[in-house]
């Protein structure tokens, strides 16, 4: 963090003395005003619900330029990573800051695959859930429960514990997601196969049965891998900030990641891919493309409470670059499976076309986000709609872990403790119950 040449001066209209606030420059992107001493100097807090103008940390992992529609992991554009690298390389990049060479990749992949199995007891824990439980409810429980099984990697202040918990989480998430799916289907769990790729092994654990091998279609394997790469990190989004805040108390990494899973579940965040697919299916059921205009009128009517799911983003005010890549993958997968005329894909394209030309969306800078197409890809692959967010959580785990470990290694890190503007009652006395 580099001190900027200029300072910010905060002045008050009521004659209180003004104060100077230091400013810092990042390598790229907006400067920040350091308000850490504001309360000490003025007795005042800043007010920023939703963190619209607040940088909660310094980070060297992911950079987004929302106006340009640019996403960089450790400086590398997402388009180049999605085209030239696989998920294991991306994980290495996010965790350690550099892309591995061939030997480094092999070594890292071995270290991950070493941990793909979960403690056999986990299946008994899983049995406590109803078969129709939402997979994200199960995932929140399972990920948190890992801390009950891996006691040698729960000390967040120990770098070796952090390293081993990172590898364990990346390796075990596909196993847990697949177990949640198999449990809901009443099918036996499939053990991981370490000779398969990360994506291929996930497909195997999801779709193989003890009586039938699952032969991985390379187009689908590549699509799955791309979904993982595109969702791997996204700087200080809601779930990542949750992981950082949770981890800032010194809790163990499994508990912090479980908090991230819980946050991701919401429809305004990772749950949007499920909500988007449900929306497309609802429109399809009620008349399909012919009803698109009517649906859009509802979206634009503020009183309807209807949103175009998969559209809009807090940071991207231009196209979400991941959406472009996902649309490309969507076309490839549908072609490989002979589903070029998939009605939901056609519907999504029709909605996108209208939205991109409609003043409501254009004036608010609302564009498709990654989830607009990822649901169609996953559905074509055979992943049930309620598993979509679990797949997102699997992919985002590496980002959460990289951000958590970065925070713990930052000498400036403190327990996260926001303040508030209190608007409740002033001090008052409790009356005896007969007088209330």
Q: Is 309 in the site for ligand ACO (CB under 6 A)?
A: yes
Q: What's the rounded Cα separation, in Å, for the pair 248 and 274?
A: 30
Q: Is 314 in the site for ligand ACO (CB under 6 A)?
A: yes
Which position among 5, 371, 410, 429 bears the catalytic label? Answer: 371
Residue of the chain from 364, 382, 409, 419 that contacts ligand ACO (CB under 6 A): 364
Residue matched to tokens 């120990």: 158
Q: What's the rounded Cα separation, in Å, for the pair 101 and 45?
A: 48
| Cβ at position 119, least distance to ligand ACO in Å | 31
Residue matched to tokens 């200080």: 236
| Cβ at position 190, least distance to ligand ACO in Å | 28
| Cβ at position 281, least distance to ligand ACO in Å | 16
Q: What's the rounded Cα separation, in Å, for the pair 245 and 414?
A: 10
Q: What's the rounded Cα separation, in Å, for the pair 90 and 99?
A: 7
Measured from the Cβ of residue 290, the count of other Cβ atoms closer than 10 Å reads: 10
Query: Which residues 229-288 are close enough to bind ligand ACO by CB under 6 A?
Result: 268-270, 272
Q: Is 366 in the site for ligand ACO (CB under 6 A)?
A: yes
Q: Is 370 in the site for ligand ACO (CB under 6 A)?
A: yes
Number of residues that bind ligand ACO (CB under 6 A): 18
Q: Is 116 in the site for ligand ACO (CB under 6 A)?
A: no
| Cβ at position 358, least distance to ligand ACO in Å | 10
Sole window of 53-61, 79-87, 161-169, 364-372 interacting with ligand ACO (rule: CB under 6 A): 364-372
Which residues have a Cβ under 8 Å from the Cβ of 250 and sit 6 or more positions away? Answer: 156, 157, 415
Which position among 92, 231, 313, 320 bears the catalytic label? Answer: 313
Q: In terms of CB distance, is 205 or 391 closer to ligand ACO? A: 391
Q: Is 291 in the site for ligand ACO (CB under 6 A)?
A: no
The residue of the chain with the least Cβ separation from ligand ACO equals 312
Residue of the chain from 161, 313, 324, 379 that contacts ligand ACO (CB under 6 A): 313
Which residues lie across from 9 on neighbouring strands? 20
Residue of the chain from 7, 111, 291, 307 that contacts ligand ACO (CB under 6 A): 307
Q: Is 110 in the site for ligand ACO (CB under 6 A)?
A: no
Measured from the Cβ of residue 313, the count of other Cβ atoms closer than 10 Å reads: 24
Q: Is 311 in the site for ligand ACO (CB under 6 A)?
A: yes
| Cβ at position 312, least distance to ligand ACO in Å | 2
Catalytic residue status for 371: yes
Q: In terms of CB distance, is 189 or 316 closer to ligand ACO? A: 316
Q: Is 308 in the site for ligand ACO (CB under 6 A)?
A: yes
Catalytic residues, by residue number, are: 313, 371
Which residues of this protein are in contact with ligand ACO, per CB under 6 A?
Answer: 268-270, 272, 299, 307-314, 364, 366, 369-371
């Amino acid at each position: 963090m580099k001190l900027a040449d200029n300072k910010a001066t905060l002045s008050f209209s009521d004659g209180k003395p003004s104060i100077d606030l230091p400013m810092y420059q990042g390598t790229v992107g907006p400067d920040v005003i350091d308000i850490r001493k504001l309360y000490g100097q003025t007795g005042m807090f800043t007010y920023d619900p939703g963190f619209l103008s607040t940088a909660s940390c310094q980070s060297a992992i992911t950079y987004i330029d929302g106006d340009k529609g640019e996403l960089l992991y450790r400086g590398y554009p997402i388009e180049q990573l999605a085209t030239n690298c696989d998920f294991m390389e991306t994980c290495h990049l996010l965790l350690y800051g550099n892309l591995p060479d061939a030997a480094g990749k092999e070594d890292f992949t071995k270290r991950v695959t070493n941990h793909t199995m979960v403690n056999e007891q986990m299946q008994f824990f899983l049995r406590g859930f109803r078969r129709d439980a939402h997979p994200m409810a199960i995932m929140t429980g399972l990920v948190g429960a890992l801390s009950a099984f891996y006691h040698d990697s729960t000390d967040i202040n120990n770098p070796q514990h952090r390293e081993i918990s990172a590898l364990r989480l990346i390796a075990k998430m596909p196993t847990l997601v697949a177990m949640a799916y198999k449990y809901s289907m009443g099918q036996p769990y499939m053990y991981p196969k370490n000779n398969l790729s990360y994506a291929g092994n996930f497909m195997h654990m999801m779709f193989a049965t003890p009586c039938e091998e699952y032969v991985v279609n390379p187009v689908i394997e590549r699509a799955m891998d791309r979904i993982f790469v595109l969702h791997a990190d996204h700087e200080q989004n809601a779930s990542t900030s949750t992981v950082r805040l949770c981890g800032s108390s010194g809790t163990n990494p499994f508990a912090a990641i479980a908090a991230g899973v819980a946050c991701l579940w919401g429809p305004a965040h990772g749950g949007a891919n499920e909500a988007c697919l449900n929306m497309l299916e609802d429109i399809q059921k009620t008349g399909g493309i012919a009803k698109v205009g009517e649906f859009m009128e509802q979206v634009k009517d503020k009183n309807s409470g209807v949103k175009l799911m998969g559209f809009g983003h807090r940071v991207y005010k231009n196209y979400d670059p991941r959406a472009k890549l996902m649309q490309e993958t969507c076309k490839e997968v549908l072609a490989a499976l002979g589903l070029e005329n998939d009605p939901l894909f056609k519907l999504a394209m029709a909605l996108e076309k209208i939205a991109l030309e409609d003043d409501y969306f254009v004036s608010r800078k609302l564009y498709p986000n990654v989830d607009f197409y990822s649901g169609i890809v996953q559905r074509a692959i055979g992943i049930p709609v309620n598993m979509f967010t679990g797949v997102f959580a699997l992919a985002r785990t590496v980002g959460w872990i990289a951000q958590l470990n970065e925070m713990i290694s930052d000498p400036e890190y403190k327990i996260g403790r926001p303040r508030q503007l209190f608007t409740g009652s002033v001090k008052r006395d409790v009356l005896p119950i007969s007088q209330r």
